[in-house]
């Protein structure tokens, strides 16, 4: 880590709401935010957020043809730069990723093509991956660098890594980073079911993320977006600072699996710790999506790195589902809120140690193929 990077704003839109105070209150409740959609459990945006998205969509005629993944990003990005007090003329950089991108539009356009053997006019520009950051830049009226990418479920934290690199290189002084996902579509859910990882549970907590005693896969999809404003100059109003980061990629042995001991996580966490004693980490916000093998592999990696001094473990996927490319930044949001409020958010169905303090929190994310990222946030 060359020097600390400061998070001066962090805003989201998710099943927990879009207002920071409401989001925190929802985190403190031992309830999930899953509902049925076409017979499948999903975590949808709150009613308030859906209203905000419709208002955004109607605010400009050009926005009516955009996918929800773009609109989610635009709404949370607007709120983030307002919180950070950035202006468009600052020409800050933007890196916003998505695992799947314009999911609903892809499915709609493809269905139209199969029926008419003719593509609709806007089927290409509205479904390209760069569509996200370019529309956010347009909406915010900034002319800085715009980057979009997909690194599956670790996408948002890779965006954060990229922003850190630009800032440390002196190529920018401010960077907006984040992830967005709108995957609650029939084909996407069917894909997860085909992998046999989707929850069929009707229990009190249908997604058992981080529960190593579960007997079946319990992943549930959620939708949302989260954006963070990064600055290299020390800011007394910063929400948190990034004091460590790590990344690693495993060699592929299977399309979707990690190694049993998640060597990518072992490497990314070790790199993120740097010279920091592992005992200084108070809490880990795990990636744990609720799958049997994925959850166990990450915990195995944590035991390898932290030995017999395991920090308090928590996750938000039991509450808001797995939001693919947005999930890492929503985990960052949980970590920042815990640092700000100095209160640990536990998972109601597991036993874990309670941290004595909340000074350093490690956040993990990993995607298909073992693309792991670990970020250390400090108060």
Averaged pLDDT of the chain: 95
Residue 102 has pLDDT above 60, yes or no: yes
**Using CA atoms, how far apart are residues 207 and 198, in angstroms rounded to an integer?**
9
202-227 tens-digit pLDDT? 999 999 999 999 999 999 999 999 99
The 5-13 sheet, strands edge to edge: 146-149, 93-97, 174-181, 224-231, 5-13, 240-249, 371-378, 360-367, 283-285, 312-314
Fold of 245-378: Peroxisomal Thiolase; Chain A, domain 1 (3.40.47)
> Is residue 32 classed as helix, strand or coil in its secondary structure?
coil
CATH code of the region 5-231:
3.40.47.10
**DSSP 8-state assignment for residue 79:** H
- Whether the full predicted model's pTM is greater than 0.85, yes or no, is yes
**Using CA atoms, how far apart are residues 189 and 115, in angstroms rounded to an integer?**
22
Our CA angle for 301, 307, 310, nearest 5°, is 80
324-365 tens-digit pLDDT? 999 999 999 999 999 999 999 999 999 988 999 999 999 999
**Using CA atoms, how far apart are residues 215 and 256, in angstroms rounded to an integer?**
19
Beta bridge partners of 313: 284
5-22 tens-digit pLDDT? 999 999 999 999 999 999
Query: How many CA within 13 A on the CB side of residue 129?
Result: 15
Tokens coding 340: 């700000």
Residue 254 has pLDDT above 70, yes or no: no
Cβ count near 270 (within 10 Å): 16
On whether the CB atoms of residues 283 and 355 are closer than 8 A, the answer is yes
10-69 tens-digit pLDDT? 999 999 999 999 999 999 999 999 999 999 999 999 999 999 999 999 999 999 999 999
Please state the length of the chain: 379
Residue intervals of the chain classified under CATH 3.40.47.10 are 5-231, 245-378
């Amino acid at each position: 880590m060359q020097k600390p990077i400061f998070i001066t704003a962090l805003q989201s839109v998710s099943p927990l709401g879009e207002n920071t105070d409401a989001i925190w209150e929802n985190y403190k409740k031992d309830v999930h935010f899953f509902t049925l959609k076409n017979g499948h459990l999903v975590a949808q945006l709150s009613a308030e957020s859906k209203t905000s998205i419709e208002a955004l969509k109607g605010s400009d005629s050009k926005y009516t043809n955009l996918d929800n993944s773009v609109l989610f990003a635009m709404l949370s990005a607007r709120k983030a730069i307002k919180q950070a007090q950035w202006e468009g003329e600052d020409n800050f950089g933007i890196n916003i990723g998505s695992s799947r991108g314009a999911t609903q539009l892809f499915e709609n356009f493809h269905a139209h093509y199969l029926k008419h053997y003719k593509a609709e006019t806007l089927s290409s520009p509205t479904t390209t991956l760069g569509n996200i950051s370019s529309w956010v830049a347009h909406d915010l009226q900034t002319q800085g660098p715009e980057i979009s990418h997909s690194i599956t479920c670790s996408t948002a934290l890779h965006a954060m890594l990229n922003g850190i690199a630009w800032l440390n290189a002196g190529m920018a002084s401010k960077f907006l980073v984040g992830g967005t996902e709108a995957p609650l579509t029939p084909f996407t859910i069917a894909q997860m079911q085909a992998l046999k990882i989707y929850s069929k549970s009707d229990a009190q907590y249908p997604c058992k993320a981080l529960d190593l005693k579960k007997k079946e896969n319990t992943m549930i999809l959620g939708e949302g977006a989260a954006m963070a404003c990064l600055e290299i100059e020390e800011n007394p109003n910063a929400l948190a600072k990034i004091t460590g980061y790590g990344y690693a990629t495993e060699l592929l042995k299977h399309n979707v699996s990690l190694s049993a001991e998640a060597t990518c996580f072992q490497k990314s966490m070790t790199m993120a710790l740097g010279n920091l004693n592992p005992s200084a980490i108070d809490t880990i916000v795990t990636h744990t999506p609720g799958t049997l093998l994925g959850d166990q592999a990450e915990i195995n990696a944590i035991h390898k790195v932290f030995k017999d001094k395991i920090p308090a473990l928590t996750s938000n996927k039991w509450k808001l589902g797995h939001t693919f490319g947005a999930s890492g930044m929503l985990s960052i949001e949980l970590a920042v809120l815990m640092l700000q409020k100095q209160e640990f958010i536990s998972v109601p169905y597991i036993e874990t140690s309670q941290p004595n303090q909340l000074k350093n929190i490690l956040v993990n994310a990993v995607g298909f193929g073992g693309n792991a990222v670990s970020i250390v946030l400090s108060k």
